[in-house]
Structure 1
Amino acid sequence: MDAEGVLQEEDMEGSWTLLSLLASLLMVFGGALPYIPQYQEIQRSSNTEGFSTRVCLVLLVANILRIFFWIGKQFELTLLLQSVVMILTMFAMLHLCCTVHNNNRVSTKQHRLTDLNLHYFWSWSAFEDYLLFCFGFTVVSAVTTLLLLDSVMFVEALGSLAVMFEAMLGVPQLLQNFQNRSTKGMSVKMVLLWTAGDIFKTTYFVMNESPAQFWVCGSVQILVDVAILLQVLSYNSDLRPKLG
């Protein structure tokens, strides 16, 4: 009887370990999954109207800051790897958007980072300008973090700032949808993927006792996801099938 109990306990531990591993893998790569259908849609249609590159700005800033937050307060390695994967995903989205914009451009005039024109901030023509901006932001963040690494208040503030940016992830898309009165390029399925991912992510934060900043961020993201879902349903309800 005791032997059977030990075997059952080992099986449960093995199952829990496997579930934990799967959850960690889903956390690392799950955030990037909703962007795959959007990437494919932009490739297919050669139209970026349904995607706001401001989303890339928000996620890049948030995840760069989160990496430095990890240096000051080492939480789960899974969340660090998630940030690296998300940064690479955003660069892939930006590269595609730049390619599509350049292929569709009628005017030969280009907007570059070196023009120092705030009107065209984050609307540059070359992908290299986005890389250069992120490199400069990373250097400034690194120097500041190294100088103030011993300050607990700074580290906590850095974490709060990182997740605040991430919590505002869907806001640029929300505003763009409202401004255009359209959710072209988006689908209910896509937004449901976002929402499901954020619900899973928030649950993961709570269960793994991640820093409070993370689950607060996740809760805000869920609310924004629901607002975007309502936009998709509202704007698409105005569409009528064309006759003839």
Structure 2
Amino acid sequence: MDAEDVLQDEDLDASWTLLSWLASCVMVFGGALPYVPQYQDIQRSSNTEGFSTRVCLVLLVANILRIFFWIGKQFEMTLLLQSVVMILTMFAMLHLCCTVQNTNRVSTRQHRLTDLDFRYFWKWSAFEDYLLFCFGFTVLCAVVTLLLLDSPVFVEALGSLAVMFEAMLGLPQLLQNVHNGSTKGMSVKMVLLWTAGDVFKTAYFVLSESPSQFWVCSSVQILIDAAILLQVPFYTQDTRVKLG
């Protein structure tokens, strides 16, 4: 092999390393990007009606479980970091929603986690209650994982449970739109970014040979994203018919 071939191989390796690094960065931070326009919309309008905070519940549970899955079965560090970034993003969204809702609230009635009223589960008035719930859930997961960590069946079940929750990511938003009979207040940019991100994730999981749970999850997410996007023209047309 001559010197020119060696240089070409080195350039190819360097290019592949750079591409892999960029793909990893996209995986870590790309999942949080769809929430930027939604965050801005809520800030601008001071209205949280179009955003379902149960999306935050789904993602918090899914990513907490994924972190414990990583403890039992070490997969790519990129996916672990992605979970940490997503958890922080969901806390930021919940904090904003609590702030806006408390500002707009006419009644002085507060709903707290300590009330133990299931009717207001995940509809609490204070951001601290969401933190407390997640802390308690994390402690519970830690205890169970510690006891059953040596069981391959438990570890695989934990991973499946984590990605099952994540696969349902768009479901709260889908149901919120059905309940409202409208997609008003929902950021279409957010859903488009969701869809693009899920397509990218699916390709990434397949190419990087990640555990099968991951690409199955992202494939289901793509289907739900498509259903949400179809709601936009459906409810727009329905509104036009009613006005007509």
What is the TM-score of this pair, normalised by structure 2? 0.96
What is aligned with 1:22? 22
Matches within 5 A, 1:1-244: 2-238=2-238
Larger CA deviation: 187-196 vs 31-40: 187-196
The amino acid of 2:5's aligned partner reads: G
What is the TM-score of this pair, normalised by structure 1? 0.96
The amino acid of 1:134's aligned partner reads: C
The amino acid of 1:66's aligned partner reads: R
The amino acid of 2:44's aligned partner reads: R
Q: What stretches of structure 1 move > 3 A for 4+ residues in a row?
A: 237-240
For 1:42 and 1:239, the matched residues in 2 are separated by 23
Instruction: Flag the 1:136–1:172 CA change in 2: closer, same or farther, 3 A.
Output: same
The answer to whether the 8 Å contact 2:28/2:81 transfers is yes
For 2:74 and 2:30, the matched residues in 1 are separated by 21
For 2:27 and 2:232, the matched residues in 1 are separated by 26
- Secondary structure of the residue aligned to 1:18 is helix
For 1:192 and 1:132, the matched residues in 2 are separated by 32
The answer to whether the 8 Å contact 2:65/2:159 transfers is yes
Alpha-carbon deviation of 1:239?
Answer: 5.1
For 2:163 and 2:18, the matched residues in 1 are separated by 28
The answer to whether the 8 Å contact 1:187/1:232 transfers is no
The amino acid of 2:230's aligned partner reads: L
Alpha-carbon deviation of 1:233?
Answer: 2.2
For 1:148 and 1:217, the matched residues in 2 are separated by 24
The answer to whether the 8 Å contact 2:202/2:215 transfers is yes
- Secondary structure of the residue aligned to 1:209 is coil
Alpha-carbon deviation of 1:189?
Answer: 3.1
For 1:162 and 1:55, the matched residues in 2 are separated by 14
Alpha-carbon deviation of 1:177?
Answer: 0.5
Kindly report the root-mean-square deviation, in angstroms, between the aligned alpha carbons of the 2 structures: 1.0
For 2:43 and 2:234, the matched residues in 1 are separated by 26
The amino acid of 1:207's aligned partner reads: L
Alpha-carbon deviation of 1:43?
Answer: 0.3
| Residues 58-109 of structure 1: per-residue CA shift (max 9 Å, x gap) | 0000000000000000000000000000000000000000000000000000
Alpha-carbon deviation of 1:184?
Answer: 1.1
